[in-house]
A = this chain, B = another copy of it.
Amino acid sequence: MTTKKHIEVCFTPALLDLYEISTKNVVLIDILRATSAICTAFSWGVKEIIPVGSVEEARQCKQNGMVVAGERDGVVLDFADFGNSPFNFMNDKVRNASIAYCTTNGTKAIQKASHAYRLLIGSYLNFSAVKDFLLNDTHDVLLFCSGWKNRFNLEDTVFAGALIEQLLLDENFTTICDSTMAAQDLWNTAKPNLLEYIQKCAHRHRLRRLGLDDVIEYCHTFDKTDIIPILNKDKIIPFGEMC
């Protein structure tokens, strides 16, 4: 009998300290919109993304001549080149660029999980690539939801559930984690009509209020890219290009 690989889910950064991550493949999830934007950026040829945690740090990057993508609470920072929408990265001008990236939830979560064995960036846009990587690797898995200001959110959890469903089809994976079981059940509730289900999420209401809900359908589209962004020291680069 071989030892099975365990799957766990962490619902918000406020709970991350409860999990041992130094031996695990951690998949960071921020569907609306950071991890969807990062996957889009690499599929359009961005060279690297440097997560920055504070507005002040982002401002410093801008003063140092870097391209800066940044927002707070869904609003583009006034000094940034553009905001956190995946659509901003669909632009030939980003090819080979190094981009400093500052978001409400995503960047902080990246920094909090930077001691993971591997920190992979997951979204529907690279769903199958992430799934296949986890299936073929030998490490336990933590699906790490960015949440909303340290609270649970549905859109990240539902994505975790979609991934869990696929991983648990493989006999090498198992779970005893209640969060994992809950995420899978929520995915099962959501999947017959994913976009309608996401309509009811609190974060969607926030985006709609800000006129930013045009990206929701795009951010729930499977498999637009095979690239898995990964944190390498203090930068995110495409997996396979690590030194």
Interface residues of A (CB under 8 A from B): 11-12, 14-15, 18, 148-154, 157, 176-179, 181-182, 185-186, 188-189, 200-203, 205
Across-interface contacts of A18 in B (CB, < 8 A) = 14, 149-151
Across-interface contacts of A178 in B (CB, < 8 A) = 148, 151-154, 201-203
B15, B149, B157: the one contacting A182 at CB < 8 Å is B157
Across-interface contacts of A150 in B (CB, < 8 A) = 15, 18
B189 and A202: CB pair below 8 A? no
Across-interface contacts of A177 in B (CB, < 8 A) = 202
Given A18-B149, A151-B179, 5 more contacts at CB 8 Å? A12-B15, A14-B18, A148-B178, A154-B178, A185-B186
B186 and A15: CB pair below 8 A? no
Across-interface contacts of A185 in B (CB, < 8 A) = 185-186, 189
| Interface of A, helix, strand, loop or mixed by DSSP | helix
Q: Which of A15, A148, A182, A200 is packed against the most chain B CB atoms within 10 Å? A: A182
In the complex where A176-B205, A205-B176 touch, is A152 in contact with B182 (Cβ < 8 A)? yes
Across-interface contacts of A200 in B (CB, < 8 A) = 181
Across-interface contacts of A201 in B (CB, < 8 A) = 178, 181
In the complex where A14-B14, A14-B18 touch, is A152 in contact with B179 (Cβ < 8 A)? yes
List 30 A–B pairs whose Cβ atoms lie within 8 Å, in order of A's numbering.
A11-B11, A12-B15, A14-B14, A14-B18, A15-B15, A15-B150, A15-B151, A15-B152, A18-B149, A18-B150, A18-B151, A148-B178, A151-B178, A152-B178, A152-B179, A152-B182, A153-B178, A157-B182, A176-B205, A177-B202, A178-B201, A178-B202, A178-B203, A181-B200, A181-B201, A182-B182, A182-B186, A185-B185, A188-B189, A189-B189
